[in-house]
Structure 1
Amino acid sequence: MTNVKNIIIGFGKGGKTLAKTLATKGEEVLVIESSDQMYGGTCINIGCLPSKRLIIEADAKQDFAKAVSGKNEMTAFLRDKNYHMLADEPSVQVLNGTAKFVNDHEVQVTTPAGEVLDFTGERIFINTGAESVILPIPGLKDSKYLLDSTKAMDQSTLPQELVIIGAGYIGLEFAGMFARYGAKVTVLDASPNFIPREDDDVSQMVFKNMQELGIDFKLGVKIVEVKDLADKVEVVYEQAGETKQVTADKVLAATGRKPRTSELGLENTGIKLDERGAVIVDDQLHTTVPGVWAIGDVKGGLQFTYISLDDFRIIKDELFGDGKRKISDRKNVPYSVFLEPPLSKVGLNEKEAKAQGIEYKLFKLPVAAIPKARVLKDTRGVFKVLVDPKTERILGATLYGKESHELINLISLAINAKLPYTLLRDQIYTHPTMSEALNDVFK
């Protein structure tokens, strides 16, 4: 049995940043990672960065196989960089193996060689992330043509025909990407409404633009069965009382992700989970066992790498600061969906404001009115911003247009700093840029 002051299970964003910080303060850290292909976490290896790299390559009309090869080179470089960022620290040990709790503060690690090692930790941080959800559709899980988001980015050849189950944001990013590479894409979703959380005018624009890519949407369907044929996969579904089929080379399950907790042995501890299998934490990320924290996707909630990074800030503040940072401080978290053009949002949209009975003033500008959009040769989309008519503070923004993923951070900053919208309206911006559109949005 080896005693370690800090044990971090999982090499994700929040955990690795915490490990580096602890090391710079001379503290002993053991980082346990089940796969040597996941050093650095989901974002670097199988999430944000590789998917956005492939999306950018699709926009540049790159060959799919070459794009995947370039993506692999990038992730290998970043994975090695992240490994050495920790492994080269004298007080950090990076251990490849599967961790399982024996009790509240004892962890057993099984290495790839079958060696079993036991550790006790004064502090333990669970940072195991999330994994793809495969719905219990007959034949789906056992299909040899099944892809999840990870396998979809590792195909050596482009699927000529692709069925995507799920019209959520991940499904839509992949649909747009594969369609731009030249695949014939069909998207199946149980909901009759397309991206229903967005305002209807925005949803309709996104839907129209994705259809123009040749993507075939089947909404309001129930998937009955997935069948493997000789060299294809057939998806059987019901729509409006009719049974229909669609065949493809591959079927991609894009039906969400769930916290990765099933193999942690938490049943041997007092660490409690919610109904979705997420680790239950308080406002400062403490689990139900003293001295054990949870970081990132494993605790449920928003599954963004920047949330995991902010989790690190909360823990760092508790260990080395004044301990005032809390999860509940995160009231306005922006997000971007990397479609073409991107869709970005922070705070309230019209649909949410109306549902909550919140009074607002709407500012709206078509992207076609922005000079930089003409330069970029893409005038699709709309910028919408809601403002409190009494305080002049921004309530929220939905930006559908080129470079919205950059611009949304400026608006998020204004919201969190409680600045009046007039400050953005009267700001001097460089030209030509998409950000200068705020001069016109707020006229």
Structure 2
Amino acid sequence: MERDYDVVVIGTGVAGSDIAWHCRKTGMEVAIVDSREYGGTCALRGCVPKRVLAGAAEVVSRVRDQQGNGIRGAVAIDWPQLVAFERTFTDPIPRRKEEGFRGAGIHTYHGVARFAGPDRVAVGDDTLVARYIVVAAGARARPIGVPGEDLMTSSDDFFYLEALPERIVFVGGGYISFEFAHVAAAAGSAVTILQRSGRVLSGFDPDIVDRLLLASVEAGIDVQMNMPLVSVERGAAALRVRAGKSGEEKTFGADMVVHGAGRVSAVGELDPAAGNVETDRRGIVVDDRLRSVSNPAVYVAGDANPRSPQLTPVAVADAHIVVDNILGGDARVADYTVVPSAVFTNPPIASVGLTEEKAKERGISYIANAGDLSGRFTNRGVGQKHAGYKLLVDEDSRRVLGAHLIGPHVEEVINIFALAIKHGLTVDDLTLDAIPWAYPSNTYDIIHMVHPLVRK
């Protein structure tokens, strides 16, 4: 059956949902489609369940860190009970999402969406004709292309394991592997991370990452560098993982091997060529207004946008830009210059703005100030040995260029620095004379971070 719409949205995550809702509120005829259960990555296979698991791991780590400081006795994670609790957040979402769409008059479709022309999307036996088509299809695990890849467990499935295996190998040294590794280690599993290169968490400041590596080792996580995956094999009682450079390969035993080696835009199954939609190896090629460069009827938002940092707040921002451009004639452009990010390990790390590496590449004259905050009572009081920072400021203007943090609550503190960078604040604007930060708090520690950089 063929049906006409103003907007067809592919994907029901935060980006797709926002676009569908806002366009429908203006009176447009809107349809939305998903090949999986409604809700998208963040709500079902990302941020929401991750925060539940990471919260449990944080409790275990806090108790461990406080042993001998007035706390005694051990705590343990009851994995089946934890996953059952996690499901109280995720299980209601698909039905609630779909009922909400239908209640608003948005037509819902289930199945794989494929372009059937520049202005057409086929879903099973239905053909949806639209003035605008928005691809918000999210991302999927990046194919690794090694023998035994099918024996690996996806990061999506890790959230819903009925039992946690004794030995887990995580392939890839990005934030997915590190966050899950800290959860699994806190729950009592023996954990190994295999990273193909000599550097993990490559988007973060290497000095901050080195401090996280020390904390990871103390948590019982074995991080193996320069270990590209060669194969995964099924043994008599367990899996065998072969990794390493040619002639230097090692074998690791595991009860489970988890794919944490990155994600790519999920646009291949859309048959973009049939819609005159140009792609590259990262996804659909878009302009700075998030519009396909080859088909003006197509917009891209969220993880399906190859230019995106693939973070939930960015997906929401993308959605607002797409809606405004559909309604207002392509007036808004995407800007990813100030995007704070965090890794929910124990302790967490967070970053925003330029790293030293990026500043040097751009020829920017900067001053870097790094320091240790483990002796501050805000951190020592909770037994946290791994706390510190690195700030980058412009040498002439003293404007904040970058901030890189490790320690308790840095996922919150980093937002202060994001605002500072976005609005061109100097280190003088962050002093006690400028703002009497709430005390005692980890945010107040900003005073100690900026003090050496303030002009006397």
TM-score normalised to the size of structure 1?
0.92
Q: Is the 8 A contact 1:101 1:266 kept in 2?
A: yes
Q: 1:392: how far off?
A: 1.8
Q: 1:438 aligns with which of 443, 446, 452?
A: 446
Conserved in 1, the CA contact under 8 Å of 2:153 and 2:259? yes
Q: Deviations over 1:275-300 (max 9, x none)?
A: 23x01111111112122111111121
- For the 8 Å contact 1:32–1:99, the answer to whether it is kept is yes
Distance apart, 1:229 and its partner CA: 1.3
Q: Name the aligned partner's letter for residue 170 of structure 2.
A: I
> How many Å apart are 1:247 and its aligned residue?
0.8
Q: 2:34 & 2:184 partners in 1: Cα distance? A: 31
Indicate how the Cα distance of structure 1 residues 218 and 84 shifts in structure 2: closer, same or farther if over 3 A, else same.
same
1:3 and 2:13 matched: no
Contact 1:237 1:245 in 2 (8 A): yes
How far is the alpha carbon of 1:352 from its aligned partner? Answer: 2.6
Answering whether residue 121 of structure 2 is matched by residue 122 of structure 1, we say no
Aligned pairs for 1:93-242 (under 5 A) are 93-110=107-124, 116-141=125-150, 143=151, 146-238=152-244, 241-242=247-248
After the TM superposition, which segments of 4 or more aligned residues of structure 1 sit over 6 Å from their partners?
none
Q: How does 1:30-429 map to 2 (within 5 A)?
A: 30-36=31-37, 39-61=38-60, 62-89=77-104, 91-110=105-124, 116-141=125-150, 143=151, 146-238=152-244, 241-276=247-282, 278-287=283-292, 288-301=294-307, 302-321=309-328, 323-327=330-334, 329-426=335-432, 427-429=435-437
User: What is the deviation of 1:196?
Assistant: 4.4
Aligned-residue offset at 1:72? 1.2
Give unpaired runs (5+ residues) of structure 2.
Answer: 61-76, 452-456
Mapped partners of 2:337, 2:251: distance in 1: 44
Deviations 1:398-438 (A, max 9, x none): 01111111111111011111122211113111122111111
2:385, 2:218 → 1: CA distance? 15
Q: Distance in 2 between matches of 1:150 and 1:381?
A: 30
User: Would the alpha carbon gap of residues 80 and 369 (structure 1) be closer, same or farther in structure 2, given more than 3 Å must change?
Assistant: farther
Q: Given residue 160 of structure 1, which amino acid in structure 2 is its aligned partner?
A: E
Return the alpha-carbon distance in structure 1 between the equivalents of residues 246 and 4 of structure 2: 61
Once residues 25 and 415 of structure 1 are traced to their aligned partners in structure 2, the CA distance between those partners, rounded to angstroms, is 35
Deviates more, 1:125-134 or 1:367-376: 367-376
Which whole-Å CA distance do the structure 2 matches of 1:78 and 1:218 have between them?
A: 38
3-state SS of 1:242 partner: coil
Q: Which amino acid aligns with 1:53?
A: V
Instruction: Report the TM-score when normalising by structure 2.
Output: 0.90
Q: What SS does the corresponding residue of 1:42 show, helix, strand or coil?
A: helix
Q: Secondary structure at the match of 2:50?
A: helix
Asked if structure 1 preserves the Cα contact closer than 8 Å seen for 2:139 and 2:264, the reply is: yes
Paired letter, 1:393 = R
Count of equivalent residues: 430
Q: After superposing the two structures, state which structure 1 stretch, 226-235 or 351-360, moved more.
A: 351-360
List gaps (5 residues or longer) in structure 1. Answer: 111-115
